[in-house]
Amino acid sequence: MTAHPEDYPAASGPDVLVVGESLVDIVSTTNGTTEHPGGSPANVAYGLGCLGVDTSLLTSIGGDRRGSVVENHLARAGVRVLPGSRHPGRTATATATLTAEGSARYDFDISWELPTAAPIVIPRIIHTGSIATFLAPGATAVRALLEQPRPECMITYDPNIRPELLGTQAEARSMFEDLVPLTNVVKLSNEDAMWLYPGHSFDDVASRILKLGAEMVAMTLGPGGSLLATRTAKLFIPAIKCVVEDTIGAGDSYMAALIYGLLTGGTDGLAPSQLTTIGHTAAMAAAITVGRAGASPPTAEELDAALTAHASSAGIAGMALPFGAGDGAPNGA
């Protein structure tokens, strides 16, 4: 069962501030072309809003029709776009070409500058990631924001690697590893791990990120489930079986539900028992999202109902082990 926003104390500001790009996904299939609001950070913000979390977004969207579509989309989930996030130019796009299996290949038309506006109040969690943390000049402003001392604020980070927008693998890895010490929780996909650390096992990648200063690593493994690791434990969570419509936004729904779980976990949020709940909640959110077109994350009610049904029919399973036990699956396995 998931917890609801009324289950945790109110803060003076938003519970979560998301910092990063917003764009429009132009999805091309054999049946034609459709457009959906997207961008990994914006998707995470929207997912949090759907889950009832008080969320603000610091982003960059154009003054065009697509920018209005994105802003209205976020508003429907209750997400506040911070002042200064709109600019007179055009809204960024990502053209996604779907394969027969439902996976997507992206071509981007994007520039990224972070507005000078900064949050007046300190949220409980700041989330950032994806293009916003790599693409100049905005990436420098993102780093400067994270460097501001906020000991009471947790930082979550999803690199969501887009190789076509990055320099060399070595340059991108250096930028990623330079940002990790400023964060508490890092989430990445197995594709991210393979690109950043070719030939390394999942355990090796998680261990390296933890040594850089993160307190927790969550790695999604597609049909292989996910791995959640801290400095003292690791937990494998099986994937939820489902029929895949497409994979757009699945990782972002997982990230939103992961943040949701961190908010409701309290001071024991990184304990193995809490990680089990967080992991299953995030896995279910991703499963619901891939079952429908576009980045369409679940509401709290949908997620609750799906988790309850799954628990009653299959039980909740997860394997907790001391970190480093076992060899870990090699990337690409």
User: DSSP string of 174-218?
Assistant: HHHHHHGGG-SEEEEEHHHHHHHSTT-BHHHHHHHHHHTT-SEEE
Q: Is residue 7 part of a domain?
A: no
When divided into structural domains, the chain yields a total of: 1
Q: Is residue 32 part of a domain?
A: yes
pTM of the model: 0.87
**Residue 171 to residue 285: CA distance in whole angstroms:** 33
Residue 333 burial by Cβ neighbours in a 10 Å radius (0-12, 13-18, 19+): exposed
Sign of CA dihedral 145, 70, 300, 121: positive
Q: Is residue 92 part of a domain?
A: yes
Q: Is residue 260 part of a domain?
A: yes
pLDDT at 314 over 90: no
pLDDT at 10 over 50: no
Q: Is residue 333 part of a domain?
A: no
pLDDT at 140 over 70: yes
pLDDT at 25: 86
Q: Is residue 6 part of a domain?
A: no
Q: Is residue 331 part of a domain?
A: no
| Distances in whole angstroms, Cα of residue 209 to Cα of each of 145, 194, 228, 292 | 21, 14, 12, 33
| Distances in whole angstroms, Cα of residue 99 to Cα of each of 28, 39, 40, 61, 191 | 10, 20, 20, 28, 17
Check which CATH number belongs to the domain holding 44 and give it: 3.40.1190.20
What is the extent of the structural domain holding 232? 12-321
- The average confidence (pLDDT) of the chain is 84
